[in-house]
Amino acid sequence: MEDEFRKRIKVPHTFIVHNYTRPTKCMLCNKLLKGLFRQGVQCKDCKFNCHKKCSEKVARNCLGEDNWVPGAIGSTQSIDSNGDTSDQSSTLSEELDPTKQPQDNEEDVEEYIPLKPAISPTTSSNIPLMRVVQSVKHTKRTGSKFIRQGWMVHYTNRDNQRKRHFWQLDPNAITLFPNDNTNRYYKEITLSDVSSMEMNDDMANGNYVFELHVSTGTIFYVGALAETDITSAESGMGKEQAEYWESAIRQALIPFTNVRMEKKEESEVVKVEKKEEKEDISKLYQICPDDVLGSGQFGIVYGGKHRKSGRDVAIKVIDKMRFPTKQEAQLKNEVSILHNINNPGVVNLEHTFETPERIFVVMEKLKGDMLEMILSSPKGRLTERITKFLISQILAALRHLHNKSIVHCDLKPENVLLSSETPFPQVKLCDFGFARIIGEKSFRRSVVGTPAYLAPEVLKNRGYNRSLDMWSVGVIIYVSLSGTFPFNEDEEISDQIQNAAFMYPPSPWNEISRDGTI
């Protein structure tokens, strides 16, 4: 196999500028790709990641397909005050290619870079405030017509003739239309009638990709392998296209799944009182499939109600069948931390349920987040008075957490929830998936959080302590008052920090008091 690889033609990589949504390493020099946007370049064929300045040094060994694991941070380390290190499993991405030798001790590749004009403090090219991709918030499905639509082929256990229809998936049903421009449908499969789904692992059983079992006894054999490598979306053929449908349907089915609690003696997640261990979650809470509140680190968050009291709740639902092992540790970390916190500044965790297939995390439901409040303000930014009111609550919550040696590690406006839609709401911190236990004199090196709000020492893979949260609070203050991030995308963040004059351009900082900039 190696001889065959050596005989291959040396194909150069086709690099294009790429925006990375998670901390990623250069696969040549093994150093972090720094910045908020356009941090590096990626080969559009094999997904090789590297610095722009390193791209000229990369060997001509493009495989022409996605055989490379994108340059990502592998194992991380924690370091305490006396310098001892201990390995930790990374929650950020997969390991680097094992054939790649680390080069942390080598000097950065030098490249001639033309001098840029000095940054003028009179103009601002700062990045507008936005919801970062890493914490994308799904829009509500209420009133939407479909989640996914497209052509698909199928046959059933009652009719072996393969049919092609235009499928539409909405929060309540799968509808099969004869074409894509009619309201008359051939068949409707309500999601509540779907009893199970199974992938076809052996094509000898039939040319289909997955099975859809309905309570009436009908089995839909969906998808088909294409006869050629290139297929059109209109054909309804192709394994990849059918797998997308299987994944979308499986996610849409989660609120309809009627599961019973099972006792798990060794489970670290389930912490339910004994009297509730055998109860059906649907008897305690009603999940509203049309009310999608958003997406956290680990799954879809639905609106719901406590059946007995009628109280609104938020229910995070995770499909364990598609749950990465490393993220399972993050979820358990979040749940264990929230179970031990009882503070008005932190979102309240009500119950956690676990079954062999899914995990249900029930939390109090709030009215939105701080980012929505900023973006919906008349000027796209908050007043100093409102900002001071919100930040004081964040600091009070952090004081409580830090006194318990808990560091949030992913503070940003998206993770600051509002209890009401009033101008001066109570706020609560949420999403503790990246939280760490850090002692008063201890340091960590594991790279966690969202790059736009991370301190420079984290991005440089240096040790950090509880002050990490305070840096994030500073960025939150800046984006609240200005409506932009404090950095622009054309300069190194470290250089911008040393030249603070440009960070406060006249618009809007002339309208902000001196206290707001100190």
Active site residue 410: yes
Contact 252, 171 (CB under 8 A): yes
Taking the C-alpha atoms of residue 390 and residue 468, their distance in angstroms, rounded to an integer, is 19
CATH 1.10.357.10 holds for 1-105: no
* Closest of 435, 447, 267 to residue 353, by C-alpha: 267
Residue 84's pLDDT is: 37
CA angle 252, 256, 260 (to 5 degrees): 130
Residues of each domain in the chain carrying CATH 3.30.200.20 = 274-364
Residues of each domain in the chain carrying CATH 3.30.60.20 = 1-105
Residue 418's pLDDT is: 94
Contact 217, 230 (CB under 8 A): no
308 annotated ligand binder: no
Taking the C-alpha atoms of residue 230 and residue 394, their distance in angstroms, rounded to an integer, is 53
Q: What is the mean pLDDT of each run of 10 residues along the chain (518 residues)?
A: 56 86 84 79 89 88 61 35 35 36 36 42 59 44 64 92 91 87 87 86 84 91 81 82 87 62 39 45 80 67 86 84 63 77 90 81 89 89 94 95 87 91 92 72 54 67 74 90 76 61 74 76
Among residues 291, 410, 431, 469, which one is catalytic? 410
Residues of each domain in the chain carrying CATH 2.30.29.30 = 148-256
Taking the C-alpha atoms of residue 405 and residue 428, their distance in angstroms, rounded to an integer, is 18
Taking the C-alpha atoms of residue 329 and residue 333, their distance in angstroms, rounded to an integer, is 6
Instruction: Determine the CATH number of domain 370-517.
Output: 1.10.510.10
Give SS3 for 453.
helix
Residues of each domain in the chain carrying CATH 1.10.510.10 = 370-517
Taking the C-alpha atoms of residue 455 and residue 465, their distance in angstroms, rounded to an integer, is 11
Question: Tokens 């049309």 belong to which residue?
Answer: 290
Whether pTM > 0.75 for this model: the answer is: no
Residue 391's pLDDT is: 96
Residue 497's pLDDT is: 61
Taking the C-alpha atoms of residue 379 and residue 368, their distance in angstroms, rounded to an integer, is 19
- Indicate the class that CATH gives domain 274-364: alpha beta
Residue 307's pLDDT is: 83
Taking the C-alpha atoms of residue 265 and residue 255, their distance in angstroms, rounded to an integer, is 26
Tokens (6 digits) for 397: 């919550």
Residue 219's pLDDT is: 93
CATH 2.30.29.30 holds for 148-256: yes
**How far from 389 is each of 368, 410, 423, 457, 517, CA to CA, in Å?**
17, 21, 10, 29, 16
